Amino acid sequence: MRILVIEDEKKVADFIKRGLKEEGYAVDIACDGDGGHFLATTNDYDVVILDIMLPKLDGMSLCRRLRAEKIKTPIIMLTAKDSVKDKVAGLDSGANDYLTKPFAFEELLARVRALLRKDSDTQTRLRVEDLEIDLVAHTVKRAGKEIILTNREYALLEYLMRNAGSIVTRTMISDHVWDIDFDTFTNVIDVYINYLRSKIDQGYTKKLINTIRGRGYILKG
């Protein structure tokens, strides 16, 4: 999953980016509202973490602008203001959630996970056949046996499972699993698909990760 953090305080932005990357997310950073608008409208993000107090274009205005431009990416708004009036203003501008600084990273992470869940249910696991991901514990099991994955392998598998039954192209994968610095002309995605196959499918009659020649990949039972 790929996240955009729009935050002008470098220490805060670096803190959030480091924590999210440790959890396996791809993260891009913008340090002002104009840069955040450019990235949010030119890339496909799963969540935007948006500070209110930004240079060039403030967070409230940016949020309203993105919603007016039909950008539906879930937005978590960050602010040092904790009055009810400020929270209501943030949500009314189009944000999905609101977090007051200072905050515990675990709380931010929980809110990110909540926004990433499909629909509005309390889904914390994804399952295809006998393959299961626990989205909270970041564990993967097949037929009850735990499979150890790297952060990048986990992120790729999570994306495939969230789109189970649908073809995902290499472009879609790079947009959601890697950050803005990813070189799309390499074969890294194919390499990681092979890593996953060796861990997920090897030794099982039923192969879950399939190549659709000329189009991409599909995970299905």
Distance in angstroms (rounded) separating the CA atoms of residues 125 and 135: 6
The pLDDT assigned to 83 comes to 67
Q: Provide the whole-model pTM.
A: 0.72
The pLDDT assigned to 120 comes to 40
The pLDDT assigned to 22 comes to 84
| 154, 138 contact by CB (below 8 A) | yes
Please, which residues have CB within 8 angstroms of residue 49's CB and are 6 or more apart in sequence?
A: 3, 4, 5, 6, 7, 16, 75, 76, 78, 108, 112
Token pair of 204 as six digits: 């099982």
Please, which residues have CB within 8 angstroms of residue 92's CB and are 6 or more apart in sequence?
A: none
Closest by CA position to 23, among listed 166, 149, 209, 180: 149
CA distances, 108 to each of 49, 99, 102, 113 (Å)? 9, 8, 11, 9
The pLDDT assigned to 81 comes to 72
Token pair of 45 as six digits: 């993000």
The letter for the amino acid at 61 is S
Distance in angstroms (rounded) separating the CA atoms of residues 105 and 85: 24
The pLDDT assigned to 119 comes to 45
**Cα-atom radius of gyration of the chain, to the nearest Å?**
18
The pLDDT assigned to 92 comes to 83
Query: Residue 137 carries which DSSP code?
Result: T
Token pair of 67 as six digits: 């919603």
Distance in angstroms (rounded) separating the CA atoms of residues 168 and 30: 27
The pLDDT assigned to 184 comes to 74
Per-residue pLDDT of the chain (221 residues; tens, 9 = 90+): 899 999 999 999 999 999 998 888 999 999 999 999 999 999 989 999 999 999 999 999 999 999 999 999 999 999 887 767 777 887 888 999 999 888 889 899 989 988 887 544 456 889 999 999 998 888 999 999 999 999 999 999 999 999 999 999 998 898 889 887 787 778 999 999 999 999 999 999 999 999 999 899 999 98
Q: Which domains does the chain have, with CATH numbers?
A: 2-116 (3.40.50.2300), 125-219 (1.10.10.10)
The letter for the amino acid at 155 is A
- What are the DSSP calls for 15-27, one per residue? HHHHHHHHTT-EE
The pLDDT assigned to 117 comes to 74
The pLDDT assigned to 165 comes to 92
Query: Residue 169 carries which DSSP code?
Result: -
| 79, 52 contact by CB (below 8 A) | yes
The pLDDT assigned to 210 comes to 94
CA distances, 130 to each of 35, 54, 142, 219 (Å)? 43, 46, 5, 12
